[in-house]
Each structure stands twice: as structure tokens, then as C-alpha cells.
């Protein structure tokens, strides 16, 4: 059954899809009156219903059943991602959404190449939120990951969050496997991945002082996007639900 995202919390029995979601339903997928679809609003529930009306500007769905989703990982995984130039951030957001990451915090680090003003930052975050919703819709998640506004590296590592904090550094000798064997299971994990140029030694030292554990992904240097996707997948496999 096809899934459609509704921007507001679904409370009514009949929901009218408009704009992009309506076009996708009626023109791209050519769904007809009487067909069943799933709506989701980011609350963690699936709203299963039937299309009862399609006009030029909207498609109306009558909700028939509400189901709790089982596509969310039990692991509360946050990705803190050094901003990369081009469209690579979009690629990362798409993939880590599929991997069940719950929150994404984009950060400017010492070696981040893009230098965006406030307006551009807002525009980017908005675009990434749309991408997260699209990816959630495609992979069957009912809650798109939360994408936070961009912070500086120092602010991000100073946030007092519970759980395990891992900072991925290609110069570290202790591997993820060893580190995860030595820590107690926790359902909250934050992972930090650097931009193209990586984290500086000073950034790693600052993070360590704040309780972050430097971790290696092995002997080869991975591109930032490969590192983010690999780290999310490995952790989701060990502590979450990937591969179950
Ligand atoms: N500093 C490097 C350079 O310019 O040669 C490479 C940085 S790497 C492309 C980008 C990010 O991916 C790093 O900051 C780190 O978080 C992660 N990363 C890549 N390879 C890694 C590895 N083998 N172990 C741990 N982290 C890695």
C-alpha cells in the first residue's frame, strides 16, 4: 500500500491531501477512488484508509484503521554530521533515515567548507527536512528523523545528553567493535562524523574532555558519507534492529 505524508497531526476521519502529495497520489501513481492508502503524520502511527474523492486540487481519504508502527528502531541514534559541500548532505540524510537514525544534527566544524549565512542555513535545514520525510515515506517509517538547526562543533559536543557518545576519527587505533564490547548497552547513542577534511586533533581533544570516545572504523579512510552510513549501520546492527 502506498504511503503519504500529512503535514498536520491527523485527528479527523477524513483527510484531504493537497500539493505535492496529492499530485503524487493522483498523477504519478494514478491511484483511483476506492484504493487503499496509508497516511502518516510523524506521530508514529499509520492511518490506513480509502480514497473517497479525487479532484483537480485534492485527494480525500477516509481513515478506516489506525495502527502502531513497528518500523522504528528501539535505538535512539543521533548523527552529528560535519557539513559537507554539494549535495552529499542530502545523500547522507536519505540513507541514514533508511537506517533508522532518530535525529540528525548538522554542524560547522573547523574544516567545513560551506560558510552559510543564517538565511541559507534555514533554507538548507528546510530542504533536509523534506528529504528526511521523503526517505521516511519511501522506507516505511512513520516518524521522519528530526533535523535540528545547524550548530557549531563546540556547541554540539557540549550538549548534555545521556547515553554513549562516539566521535569517529581516522587516526584512532581503537576500533568500534572493541569500544562497543567495553561499554554497557544503552539505547541512546550519539555519533559524530567529520566533513571531507575530517576533525582536527584539537576538536578530538575537546570532545574527549566532554566525554566523547574517539573510535576507528578500520585502517582505510572512508569518505565522510561512507563513514556516516557505515557507522549508523554497524551501530544499528549491534544495538538496534538492523539485520533482525
Ligand atoms: N582527515 C582526512 C583527510 O582529509 O584525509 C579524512 C576525513 S574523512 C574523509 C571524513 C570523516 O569520516 C572523518 O572525520 C571521520 O569522522 C570519518 N572517517 C573516515 N574514515 C574513518 C576511519 N577509518 N575511522 C574513523 N572515522 C573515519
Q: pLDDT, tens digit, for every residue of 37-65?
A: 999 998 889 999 999 999 999 999 999 99
Query: Which of the listed residues 92, 109, 110, 170 should we mutate to test ligand 1's pocket, taking the one with most ligand atoms within 8 A of CB?
Result: 170
Query: Which of the listed residues 222, 231, 232 should we mutate to test ligand 1's pocket, taking the one with most ligand atoms within 8 A of CB?
Result: 222
Query: 205-236 burial string, b = 16+ CB within 10 Å, else e?
Result: ebbeeeebbbbbbeeeebebbebbbbbbbbbb
Q: β-strand 164-168 against 188-193: which pairing, if any?
A: parallel
CA 19/CA 5 separation, integer angstroms: 11
227 C-alpha vs ligand 1 centroid, how far in Å?
A: 7
Q: With the C-alpha atoms ordered 60, 20, 129, 222, is the resulting torsion angle positive or negative? A: positive
Helix residue spans in 2-117 (DSSP H): 19-23, 88-98
Residue nearest to atom 27 of ligand 1 (CA): 170
Residues spanned by the domain of 14: 2-68
pLDDT at 182: 87
Q: What is the mean pLDDT of the chain?
A: 94
The pLDDT tens digits of the residues spanning 195-244 come to 999 999 999 999 999 999 999 999 999 999 999 999 999 999 999 999 98
User: Domain check: are 21 and 55 in the same one?
Assistant: yes
User: Domain check: are 31 and 53 in the same one?
Assistant: yes
The pLDDT tens digits of the residues spanning 160-190 come to 788 999 999 999 999 999 998 888 888 999 9
Contact 169 CB / ligand 1 (< 6 Å): yes
User: Domain check: are 123 and 16 in the same one?
Assistant: no
Q: Residue 58 belongs to a domain with what CATH number? A: 2.40.240.20
Q: Say how many domains are in the chain.
A: 2
Contact 222 CB / ligand 1 (< 6 Å): yes
Residue 164: inside a domain, yes or no?
A: yes
Is residue 115 pLDDT above 90, yes or no? no
Last residue of a domain, one of 52, 68, 84: 68
Contact 92 CB / ligand 1 (< 6 Å): no
pLDDT at 183: 86
132 C-alpha vs ligand 1 centroid, how far in Å?
A: 24
Amino acid at each position: 500500500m502506498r504511503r503519504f505524508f500529512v503535514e498536520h497531526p491527523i485527528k479527523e476521519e477524513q483527510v484531504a491531501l493537497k500539493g505535492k502529495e496529492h499530485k503524487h497520489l493522483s498523477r504519478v501513481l494514478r491511484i483511483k477512488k476506492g484504493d487503499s492508502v496509508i497516511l502518516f503524520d510523524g506521530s508514529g502511527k499509520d492511518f490506513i484508509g480509502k480514497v473517497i474523492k479525487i479532484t483537480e486540487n485534492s485527494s480525500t481519504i477516509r481513515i478506516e484503521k489506525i495502527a502502531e508502527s513497528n518500523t522504528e528502531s528501539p535505538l535512539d541514534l543521533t548523527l552529528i554530521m560535519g557539513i559537507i559541500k554539494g549535495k552529499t548532505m542530502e545523500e547522507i540524510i536519505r540513507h541514514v533515515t533508511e537506517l533508522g537514525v532518530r535525529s540528525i544534527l548538522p554542524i560547522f566544524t573547523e574544516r567545513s567548507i560551506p560558510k552559510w549565512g543564517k538565511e541559507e542555513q534555514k533554507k538548507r535545514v528546510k530542504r533536509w527536512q523534506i528529504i528526511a520525510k521523503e526517505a521516511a515515506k519511501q522506507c516505511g517509517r512513520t516518524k521522519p528523523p528530526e533535523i535540528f538547526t545547524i550548530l557549531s562543533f563546540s556547541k554540539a559536543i557540549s550538549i548534555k545528553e545521556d547515553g554513549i557518545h562516539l566521535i569517529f576519527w581516522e587516526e584512532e587505533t581503537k576500533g568500534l567493535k572493541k569500544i562497543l564490547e567495553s561499554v554497557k548497552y544503552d539505547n541512546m547513542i550519539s555519533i559524530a562524523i567529520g566533513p571531507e577534511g575530517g576533525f582536527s586533533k584539537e576538536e578530538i581533544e575537546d570532545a574527549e574532555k566532554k566525554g566523547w570516545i574517539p573510535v576507528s572504523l578500520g585502517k582505510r579512510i572512508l569518505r565522510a558519507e561512507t563513514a556516516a552510513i557505515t557507522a549508523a549501520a554497524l551501530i544499528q546492527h549491534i544495538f538496534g534492529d538492523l539485520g533482525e
